[in-house]
Amino acid sequence: MQLRADGVSIVIDGKSVLKSATAQAEPGRMLVLAGKSGSGKTTLLNVLGLLSRTDAGTVVVGGQDATKWNDARRRRFWRDHVAFVFQDYGLIDESSVEYNVTVGRRGLFGLRQPDRERADQVLSHVLLSGRGKEQTARLSGGEKQRVGLARAMFRGADVVLADEPTASLDRRNRELVINFLIEEARRGATVVVATHDEDLMAAGDDLILLGGEPTPSQRDSHLSV
């Protein structure tokens, strides 16, 4: 599912956060939005994922102009097509690891057996095999981020949006996150990442450097500012 922002601008409290930015994310590729704190990388990620509304410009999702979609239409897009990987994990600490992975797929009588087996499979993939019944609050920061990855894997989403997913992680967990994002792009997902992690920048297919000129590389850079 292609995501495109054309000439988007956002003003917050009288300050221009994005000015006439254009970006395009393609299926099967990882688009990395890089830059210093305050450069607008998270804002542009949120625009592409319909989490933030624009003051000018258009946002196109899967060939449809989504700029003026109402809240209900945006929620359907997130529910049906998007997996999020957050810097703060976005988990329910009071619930189990398995619940966090499978949230949204539980019926009146709990989790279906195929979904339970799928949850076990993705937890094993992120080195959390056998820990589905543990309370999420008891996990370390790196383990919580891996639960977030397992949740995204479980969804098998068309779009993966990741905001600073390697921040504050040790090297082992950083590598797990980077490899996951690469695998999701290879699977055919549209992957968009906001980061200042140089290893993650190097792993992307397309790079946008905000707060400066696009970085020259052999990769296509889908940006103009």
- Average pLDDT on 213-224 reads 44
Q: Which residue has the higher pLDDT, 30 or 88?
A: 30
The pLDDT value recorded for residue 126 is 93
d(CA 20, CA 57) in angstroms, rounded, equals 7
Read off the pLDDT of residues 125-136 as tens digits, 9 standing for 90 and up.
Answer: 999 999 999 999
- The highest-confidence range among 34-48, 105-119, 193-207, by mean pLDDT, is 193-207
Averaged over 10-18, what is the pLDDT?
Answer: 89
What's the confidence (pLDDT) of residue 215?
42
The SS3 call for residue 113 is: helix
Q: How many beta carbons lie within 10 A of that of residue 130, not counting itself? A: 9
| Residue 19 to residue 210: CA distance in whole angstroms | 11
Q: How high is the pLDDT of residue 88?
A: 80
Q: CA-CA distance, 155 to 131, in Å (whole number)?
A: 19
- What is the pLDDT at residue 213? 46
Task: Quote the CATH superfamily of domain 3-92+157-224.
Answer: P-loop containing nucleotide triphosphate hydrolases (3.40.50.300)
The mean predicted confidence, pLDDT, of the chain is 90
Q: Partners of 82 in the beta sheet?
A: 159
Domain ranges for the chain, please list them.
3-92+157-224
pLDDT tens profile 168-201: 889 999 999 999 999 999 999 999 999 999 999 9
Side-chain-facing half-sphere of 171: CA atoms under 13 Å: 0
Q: E strand or H helix at 91, and its extent?
A: none
pLDDT of residue 214: 44
The per-residue pLDDT for 108 is 62
pLDDT at 169 (0 to 100):
87
Q: What is the pLDDT of residue 146?
A: 92
More confident residue, 21 or 221: 21
Q: What phi and psi values does residue 9 have, to the nearest 5 degrees?
A: -130, 145
All residues at 6 or more sequence positions from 50 whose CB lies less than 8 Å from its CB, including other chains = 59, 61, 66, 69, 74, 77, 78
Per-residue pLDDT at 107: 64
What is the reported pTM?
0.86
Euclidean distance between CA atoms 201 and 97, whole angstroms: 29
For 62-205, list the strands marked E by DSSP.
Answer: 64-65, 82-85, 159-163, 190-195
